[in-house]
């Protein structure tokens, strides 16, 4: 097979020869798990809202090829074209986020979605990945020219995106975005004083959000003070924990779970609970390992790289992917306050699935051997 591919001078042939097969198979495995869990969890959720039984399953199956197509298409791009794509996505996404605040429809206390031609989109999903690529670009330019104010420009961009996210409000997205970009700035040589200032600023923002945003107050109270928290949030988390207890090590069997009938977002925010109940702790551990593998392998792929831009971009995107997965899974087992964040490649959610596909496509593009990486990747 390798010999055949090496002789294939087509675009897809060169792509297959140079792309990281291990990362590719890890992603496809997560997608396959997501399809299985969607078939199991979605019908009950659809029935509750009066839709046809397989409404969400069909939409998930429609979104998957779009996300994979976006991933493969982006992974074919050169670094310069990736920067162009990210710039277009960022400008368009920021404009859309402003439109969301003005005309978006509110769901569960937050304005995050906007309808275009009958399709509901969450612009912040596309902004978070494109922002990391632009931040990497600015930091790379600073490495090329020490007089270029790359860190200040990157800081201003991060602050802009953070403010727009907080206004929605979406504290979880703000945390993931700021944390991922802060890692990029840190590895670029950010002074220690800036690091301390960033941590203090993030802490102040969290305190202010808790004091003045009721949506955030309820979720944090539900976590630290259950007797004062929101009953709906407590109910979902308790049912999620009960699901893991019911599933045990090996699960109660496909389709036999109960949590999907009790929790409104079993196909999205709490899909990890469905996995734990029906397939057991072993599948949950396998999912955790897959995300860990993707993050670690992505980081290792750029450690020895001479491409500074690729190092900054892949670091930010892989950290973002890992943090998003961590927040979703931690919510299901009550390690962090309840946060409506999808599990990448697994949860139902069109905007999230396609945006994560684009982010993974960028990682695959920048870790391809033809872009200057040595050794077997």
Report pLDDT digits (tens) over 14-43: 888 889 999 999 999 999 999 999 998 888
Residue 13 lies in a domain: yes
Confidence at residue 27, expressed as pLDDT on a 0 to 100 scale? 97
Residue 236 lies in a domain: yes
Q: Which domain holds residue 354?
A: 9-371
Burial of 77 from C-beta contacts in 10 A (0-12 / 13-18 / 19+): middle
d(CA 298, CA 37) in angstroms, rounded, equals 26
Number of domains in the chain: 1
d(CA 279, CA 313) in angstroms, rounded, equals 35
Non-local (6+) Cβ contacts of 219 within 8 A are 229, 230, 233, 337, 338, 339
d(CA 207, CA 210) in angstroms, rounded, equals 5
Residue 63 lies in a domain: yes
Q: Which of 132, 35, 48, 149 is nearest to 90 (CA)?
A: 132
Secondary structure of the chain as H, E, C letters? CHHHHHHCCCHHHHHHHHCCHHHHHHHHHHHHHHHHHHHHHHHHHHHHCCCCCCHHHHHHHHHHHHHHHHHHHHHCCCHHHHHHHHHHHHHHHHHHHHHHHHHCEEECCEEEEEEECCEEECHHHHHHHHHHHHHHHHHHHHHHCCCCCHHHHHHHHHHHHHHHHHHCCCHHHHHHHHHHHHHHHHHCCCCHHHHHHHHHHHHHHHHHHHHHCHHHHHHHHHHHCHHHCCHHHHHHHHHHHHHHHHHCCCCCCCCCCCHHHHCCCCCCCCHHHHHHHHHHHHHHHHHHHHHHHHHHHHHHHHHCCCCHHHHHHHHHHHHHHHHHHHHHHHHHCCCCCCCCCCCCCCCCCHHHHHHHHHHHHHHHHHCCHHHCCCCCC
Residue 238 lies in a domain: yes
d(CA 88, CA 285) in angstroms, rounded, equals 38
Confidence at residue 251, expressed as pLDDT on a 0 to 100 scale? 86
Share of residues in the chain with pLDDT > 90 (%): 41
Name the residue with higher pLDDT: 24 or 235. Answer: 24
Confidence at residue 233, expressed as pLDDT on a 0 to 100 scale? 61
Name the residue with higher pLDDT: 219 or 253. Answer: 253
Confidence at residue 29, expressed as pLDDT on a 0 to 100 scale? 97
Residue 2 lies in a domain: no
Confidence at residue 276, expressed as pLDDT on a 0 to 100 scale? 92
d(CA 233, CA 9) in angstroms, rounded, equals 55
Confidence at residue 375, expressed as pLDDT on a 0 to 100 scale? 37
Residue 341 lies in a domain: yes
Question: Tokens 């892989």 — which residue?
Answer: 318
Confidence at residue 196, expressed as pLDDT on a 0 to 100 scale? 77
What is the mean predicted confidence (pLDDT) over 151-163?
90
Rounded to whole angstroms, the maximal C-alpha distance in the chain is: 67
Residue 4 lies in a domain: no
What is the mean predicted confidence (pLDDT) over 143-156?
86
Confidence at residue 6, expressed as pLDDT on a 0 to 100 scale? 58
Q: What is the pTM of this model?
A: 0.90
User: pLDDT tens, 324-362?
Assistant: 999 999 988 888 877 778 899 999 888 899 999 999 999
d(CA 211, CA 208) in angstroms, rounded, equals 5
Residue 139 lies in a domain: yes
Separation of first and last alpha carbons in the chain? 17
CA separation, residue 273 to residues 55, 237, 247, 257 (Å): 21, 10, 9, 9
- Residue 230 confidence (pLDDT) above 60: no
Name the residue with higher pLDDT: 169 or 271. Answer: 271
Residue 7 pLDDT class (50, 70, 90 cuts): low
Confidence at residue 377, expressed as pLDDT on a 0 to 100 scale? 34
CA separation, residue 211 to residues 31, 41, 208, 249 (Å): 39, 36, 5, 41
């Amino acid at each position: 097979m390798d010999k055949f591919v090496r002789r294939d001078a087509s675009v897809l042939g060169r792509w297959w020869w140079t792309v990281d097969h291990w990362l590719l198979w890890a992603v496809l495995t997560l997608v396959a798990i997501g399809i299985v869990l969607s078939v199991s969890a979605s019908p009950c959720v659809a029935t509750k809202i009066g839709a046809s039984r397989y409404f969400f399953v069909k939409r998930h199956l429609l979104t998957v090829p779009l996300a994979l197509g976006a991933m493969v298409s982006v992974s074919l791009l050169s670094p310069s074209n990736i920067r162009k794509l990210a710039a277009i996505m960022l400008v368009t996404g920021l404009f859309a986020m402003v439109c969301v605040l003005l005309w978006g429809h509110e769901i569960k206390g937050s304005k995050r979605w906007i309808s275009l031609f009958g399709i509901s989109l969450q612009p912040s999903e596309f902004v978070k990945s494109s922002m990391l690529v632009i931040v990497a670009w600015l930091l790379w330019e600073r490495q090329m020219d020490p007089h270029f104010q790359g860190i200040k420009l990157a800081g201003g961009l991060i602050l802009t995106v953070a403010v727009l996210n907080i206004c929605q409000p979406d504290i979880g997205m703000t945390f993931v975005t700021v944390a991922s970009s802060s890692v990029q700035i840190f590895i670029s040589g950010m002074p220690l004083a800036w690091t301390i200032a960033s941590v203090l600023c993030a802490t102040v923002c969290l305190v202010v959000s808790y004091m003045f945003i009721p949506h955030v107050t309820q979720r944090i109270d539900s976590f630290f003070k259950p007797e004062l928290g929101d009953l709906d949030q407590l109910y979902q988390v308790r049912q999620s924990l009960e699901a893991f207890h019911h599933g045990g090590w090996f699960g109660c069997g496909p389709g036999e779970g109960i949590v999907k009938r009790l929790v409104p977002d079993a196909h999205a925010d709490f899909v990890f609970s469905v996995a734990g109940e029906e397939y057991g702790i072993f599948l949950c551990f396998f999912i955790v390992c897959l995300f860990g593998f993707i993050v670690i392998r992505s980081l290792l792929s750029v450690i020895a790289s001479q491409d500074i831009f690729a190092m900054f971009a892949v670091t930010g995107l892989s950290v973002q992917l890992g943090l998003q997965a961590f927040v979703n899974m931690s919510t299901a087992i009550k390690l962090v306050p309840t946060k409506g964040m999808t599990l990448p490649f697994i949860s139902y959610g069109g905007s999230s699935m396609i945006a994560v596909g684009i982010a993974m496509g960028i990682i695959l593009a920048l870790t391809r051997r033809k872009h200057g990486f040595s050794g077997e990747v």
